[in-house]
Amino acid sequence: MNIFLAGATGYIGGTVAERLRRAGHRVRGLARTEERASALRARGIEPVLGSLSDLAALTEAAREADAVISAADADHRASVDALLRGVEGSGKRFLHTSGSSIVSTDAKGELVADVFDEDTDYEPIADKADRVATDRAVQRAANQGVHSIVICPTMVYGDGLGLKVESIQIPNIEREARASGAAHWIGRGANVWSNVHVEDLADLYLLALEKAPGGAFYYAENGEADLKTVVTAVGRRLGLPAASLSIEEAARFWGFADAHLHLASNSRVRAKRARAELGWKPHHPSIVAWLENTSPPR
């Protein structure tokens, strides 16, 4: 299959691209610079020069492909709409990448009991309303001749298989730890995020490409952990102590969004449909086991 992938130079998209290539698919990937285009070519991925702002080019690349995967920016609605225009009415598969912060809570490090699966109704916080609107627009495209699917990862960890090896949350925690001399959770650190290994996540994309019905939405998770436990494991990995930061201190280092809506929030989901409908079976170690058995990048 000829697949166009927006996000092929990124962490999730790069890992998905490599798994697709290994499975025998031809992959074309968006690259912003000639340097990144050359790096994709070296990996057997045909580059398409451009950015998410090159809407006409995105539409054309989608039109030429047998299937399209959007894994570049869950909040870039214009690029998603441009890709959808390229496959409208074609019956082609279109996989869009969201993120489970759509059910996050501004909890300042406290535990919130709510757990969501694909059948649970929710009202997103204001900061995530646009992302949810994009997800739902992709699902509605199934009524316009697009075999559209939304995949919603949780906290992703593990070494990527593409150009970008590192995830987002764990490296953010590690950078602050190196800068301050201690790994920090926020408040009590009792807040919980579901999580998934990046290679297990890539397996889900392949299954969705093959089996998922149009209009489907899948969470991607393989367990959960509170942030105090995760951060303590990060500290051990770095040989540093672990301690608490106030939400105000955390926001000064990470910024408001990362502190409040990611590292001090709850995002607890269950990938009920991915397992039941697609037969997805994650097999990589837990996030804590991975942290305790791998070395951090230098």
| Residue 255 belongs to some domain of the structure | no
Residue 177 located in a structural domain: no
Q: What is the rounded CA–CA span in Å between residue 146 and residue 152?
A: 19
DSSP-derived secondary structure letter, 260:
I
- pLDDT under 50 in the chain at which residues? none
Output the pTM of the full model. 0.97
pLDDT at 215: 98
User: What does the angle CA 60 – CA 64 – CA 68 come to, to the nearest 5 degrees?
Assistant: 90
Q: Is residue 199 part of a domain?
A: yes
Secondary structure (DSSP) of 200-250: HHHHHHHHHHHHPPTTEEEEE-S-EEEHHHHHHHHHHHHT--EEEE-HHHH
CATH number at residue 120: 3.40.50.720
* Number of domain units in the chain: 1
Rounded Cα distance between 165 and 115, Å, is 30
**172 belongs to a structural domain:** no
Q: Read off the pLDDT of residues 196-253 as tens digits, 9 standing for 90 and up.
A: 999 999 999 999 999 999 999 999 999 999 999 999 999 999 999 999 999 999 999 9
Place of tokens 């000064």: 252
> Which structural domain range is residue 41 located in?
2-104+115-158+195-221+270-282
Element (DSSP H or E) covering residue 94: strand 93-97
Q: Is residue 83 part of a domain?
A: yes
In a domain, residue 55? The reply is yes
State the DSSP string of 240-252: --EEEE-HHHHHH
Q: Give ∠ CA 70-216-18 in degrees, rounded to 5.
A: 40
58, HSE (Cβ side, Cα atoms, 13 Å): 24
Asked whether residue 59 is assigned to any structural domain, the reply reads yes
pLDDT, tens digit (0-9, with 9 covering 90-100), for 132-157: 999 999 999 999 999 999 999 999 99
Q: Is residue 6 part of a domain?
A: yes
